[in-house]
Structure formats: C-alpha cells, structure tokens
Chains A and B, each alone.
Chain A
Amino acid sequence: MITVELRDVYHRARADFWRPARRILNGVSLSVEEGEIYGFLGPNGAGKTTTFRCITGLLTPTSGRVVVLGGTMKDPGVRGRVGFMPEGGAYGGNLTGQDLLHYHAILSGLSAVEARRVTAELVEQFGLKNHSASRIANYSKGLVQRLGLALALISDPDLLLLDEPMSGLDPVGRRMVLDLMMVLRSKGKTIIFSTHILSDIETVCDRVGVLVEGRLCWEGHLQELYEDQVGTMEITVKTLSSEINDRFESLFDRSDTLAQGRQRLFVRDVKAGNNLLVELLEHGVTVFDVQTGRGALENLLTNKLVETKSGFDHRHH
C-alpha cells in the first residue's frame, strides 16, 4: 500500500517580496510504500525541506498532487497519523521538555492520565529525564533534537517525517535514532527522512531519492545502486613503504593518506581488490579495514550534482 504519493509537484516561491519567484520544486514525483524507510539525499537548497512541508500540508505547492495515507493533510484524521520533526526545530522556550510533551500528548487526543504515561515513557526513552524539568531555552542542540523526535512519536504515528534528524546528535544519539528507525520499521511504520550523512542512509534506508535543484534525479533501492557499483572496494592499511607502494601501484586506482599512519586504497574491481589484498597480506602489510560498495552513494550524489551543474551551465550559455 502506498503511504505517500507526490505527482508532478511544482513549487515557486520568492525569498523576499521584492525578489523574483524562484522554482523550488521542479516536478517531483515519488511514492513511498507502507513499512518502508525512504531516505532523501541532496545538497543544501535542493528542496528537501520544501518537499517535507508539502507532504505535511504546511505548504500548498503551486501545482501537483500530494496524497498522504490515502487522503490529504486537511483531514484531521490523516494529520493525527503523521509525526513530523522539522529541521533544527526550536520549541517553546518557556516551557519545560516535560510540559511540552504533555501539551502535545493532550492535543493529540490522549486523556490526561494517558498523556502523563506517554510523556514519562518518552522522557525515559530519549534520555531527557535529567532535563525534563528545565526550560527548553536552556537545552543543548542535541537535547532539542531528542525532544523533537519524542514529539514526532507522541501520537504513535503511522508515517514519520524526519527532516535532518541526526543534525546535532552525538554518536550515541545517532545510533539511538537509527536503532529506533529500524524498530519502527519492524512495526510496519513508514519513515521518510533526510540527511547529509551518507552512512546513515546506507544503514537504514530501503530506498533513496536524490534531489538536486528541486528535481528528483535518481530514485531506487540501495541494492540496485550497489549492484551497479559492486566492484568498488576500499582497503585501509598501515601506510605503505615506498618500496611496497611502487610494487603494487598498478593494482589500485587511487590512494588517500589518512591520519595516524594509515592509507586508504581504492580499487574499482572486486577481483583485483581481492588479489591486492592477498598480496598485501603476503608482504606483511597491516590491513585495518576492507569495505565493498562504500562510496556508491557518494559517487552517485557527486555525479548527479555535476550533471545538474553542467546542465545549468549549458542552459545559461
């Protein structure tokens, strides 16, 4: 079943009233299935946040169709089944985290007793217990992010929209969010999230959409992407001596010098990569890490950006 469907969504807006309107979304069409984790990828200003705002109904696109959970966001029944965490959300600074959660729980239609129970659970789950009585104005960025996530989950939504949920989180917080996403997926919830952290997309996403200049340039399963670039291999080793480096230079395509006396070798072909690995081990080189397929998303994003940029340059010549 399709949870979110966007068809030919265009949006034009002006940053200030004296400036000409700019096209923010350029015919975005996508559909997200129930129980799927869909990742939005794209540079700053690509239109990710605008797409989220169109889905939530907070922004009416210039043209196009947006269907959420089989209806529109004008329907309170549909709105109640959607959880949203805006990017860098700043919440009522005068209230405490606990007050805000309780407030939203009651607004979501829970009874006072039920709201108190849910609030206590979320405070515990998101590590807000020691700060629940402090004013939100005194929260750190990471705590505000955690609070935002707790707010998004308060009504046990079927669809969760998370705009840059990892921004400002420490590694423990990031891990917690990724684990949470996987737990929610196992419960059949649909999640759409945007991030700049490619490894997070690779960890949890079923499908990815690459948005560049308001256009969905690529969309598909990560598996397809890896199959396309199955040969990519990265071997992290202790910095090679000049003798070994000269000897195997022809077996790798590129190498990067890393901190703490390490070096990363890039090989485009798995077979060649395996041969290189065997040779390196036979010659007593210390191998720290071997990754295949990594970089596929980065390459894809870079290629799409370059393609769009060259298209832009072409149009303007």
Chain B
Amino acid sequence: MVLITDTIKQIFVLGRFTILEVVRERFALILLLLVVVMSVLSLLAGSLSMGEERRIMVDSGLALSNLVSRVLAILLTVAILCSELRRDSVQVLLLRSPPRWAYVLGRFLGIWCAVGIAMLMMISVTVVAIELLGESVPRAFWSCVWLNIVEIAVVVAIVLFFSVQLPKIIAGMSSAVIVFAGSFVDDFQNLANRAAQNGEVLYSYVGNLIYYGLPDLMALSLRHQVATAVDVSAQQVVDATLYGLSYAVTALVASMWIFSSRKSI
C-alpha cells in the first residue's frame, strides 16, 4: 500500500516538474506569444466583418488554439522526452525509485497539463474578445474546448509512443505524420469502401487497417458545428470523449510497456 502511495506521489512530482520544464522552454513561450498576437489580429479581422463577428472569432480562435496545441504537444514531448533519453539524466532519474512506467505516466500528465493550460490561455483571448463585443460565448464552445483537451491527450500519447523507442527527429516526424493523417481518416475509410466495391480486397484491407489504426481527430473536433451554430448533443461529446480517452490510454499503456521492457536505457 505504501509502495502504491509512493509511486502515485512520484508520478505527480514528475508531472509537476515537467510543467516547470515546459514553462521554461523558450520556444513554447515564443510560440504562445505569437499566438496571442495572431489571435488579436484575427479578432480585429473578425470585428471588420459585418454581422459575422462572432462566427469568425469563434472559428479562428478555436482553429488557432487547436493547431498550436497540436504543434506544442509534438514539439514539447519530443524536446523533453527524447532529449532526456538521449542524455544521461534519465539514468539518474530512474534510480530514484519510480518504476519506468510511472516515469512515462508522470511525463504524460505533465505535458498534457502544460499544453492544456497553454490552450486555455489561447482560448481565453477569444472569450474575452467575444465578451468585449457584447456577444455571448455559445455553450457548445466549451464542449469543443473540452474535446480539444482530450485531443491533446491523444496527441501527447502518440508522441510518447514514438519517443520512447525512436530517435528525436524520427519520433517527431512519425508523430506529425500520424497526427496530420488523423484529420483525414474518413477519406481512408471511403477509399477502403470503394476498393471493397471494386473487389480489391487487399486495398480494402489496408484502407480499413489505416482507418482503425489512426486516431480519428475529426471525431474530436466540433469547431465547424460551433462556428455555424449547429447543435452539439451531449451524447456526441460523451462518445467523442470516450473514444479519445480510450485511444490515448491505449497509446500510453503501449508506451509504458515498451519503456518498461527496454533492455537498455
């Protein structure tokens, strides 16, 4: 029991110090500053469009925060984890009692929180601007923000999966490809269906494999619905959350298993 409590404590310590490392990462701060400037500019552009201010502000605010949080999640995870594995510092860290899986989990929680906080900061600029216009933020907006946070978990878990086994650049590029392709999984399914109709079994099989293997990031995006004021049902949010968290947990468990089974660190 004491061992479990100690491990949980160590996971949170690892997470806390990961946030501290992220906060001091210069490129993250520069990127964040850039986003704030871009948000303000897009809000200005929104205010010039007659009658469409709220739609443009919501759309651009959500799109920008989503894109930047994906980039941050990839860059920060690679920068922190791959660099640490390449350096000797991880060797000293792993002697401090936490099991290897706890190290991966602690890093995951820390990066997820840090990127989540950065994303909320970006979103807050949009919210303040909408409020200043005298408009109200739609309820579905917050559902979209929540799913963005879930999406960050998925992205961080994917990058972790590659980072625990591949060199920095290959891990970063593989993660970026998977995350990018994750926005087009429906197209892979369409291709698989078309191949099946034409009797091309192999193509259909490969298409389906890619469809089920890749994360369906579009399922986690409500941006267009929110921007065009289409209703978002609670069931849709729950389903997307369950899907996203399941995917993140699967990738995370695989990362923890791979890192724990490594014969050499």
Contacts and interface: CB of A to CB of B under 8 A. Distances in A.
Range class of the A interface residue count: 20 to 34
B265 A107 contact: no
A7 B14 CA distance: 35
A107 B10 contact: yes
Interface stretch (A27-35, A79-87, A179-187): A79-87
B91 A87 contact: no
Nearest to B6: A109
Contact of A90 (B14, B20, B88, B97): B88
B97 A107 contact: yes
Interface stretch (A52-60, A217-225, A271-279, A291-299): A52-60
B17 to A, nearest CB: 5
A95 B24 contact: yes
B99 A90 contact: no
Contacts of B38: none
Contact of B84 (A92, A107, A148): A92
Q: Which of B10, B17, B91, B95 is the most central at the interface, judged by chain A CB atoms within 10 Å of its CB?
A: B95
Contacts of A85: 92
Nearest to A135: B24
A58 B89 contact: no
A13 B10 CA distance: 32
Contact of A107 (B3, B21, B24, B93): B93
Interface in B198-219: none
B91 A86 contact: yes
A105 to B, nearest CB: 9
B1 to A, nearest CB: 14
Interface in A58-81: 58-60, 76, 79-80
A238 interface: no
Nearest to A13: B264
Given A79-B95, A95-B24, A107 B88 contact: no
Interface in B61-111: 84, 87-89, 91-99
B24 A82 contact: no
Contact of A58 (B97, B99, B264): B264
B10 A59 contact: no
Contact of B3 (A56, A76, A91, A148): A76
Interface in B119-157: none
Q: Which of B25, B92, B98, B99 is the most central at the interface, judged by chain A CB atoms within 10 Å of its CB?
A: B92
Given A84-B91, A104-B92, A109-B6, A76 B84 contact: no
Given A53-B264, A95-B24, A90 B89 contact: yes
A95 B92 contact: no
Closest 5 CB pairs of A and B: A86-B88, A94-B24, A107-B96, A90-B87, A60-B263
22 contacts: A13-B264, A53-B91, A53-B264, A56-B91, A76-B3, A79-B96, A80-B96, A80-B97, A82-B95, A83-B95, A84-B91, A86-B91, A89-B87, A91-B87, A91-B89, A91-B92, A92-B21, A92-B84, A99-B20, A107-B14, A135-B24, A148-B92
Interface of A: 13, 53, 56, 58-60, 76, 79-80, 82-92, 94-95, 99, 103-104, 106-109, 135, 148, 151-152, 155
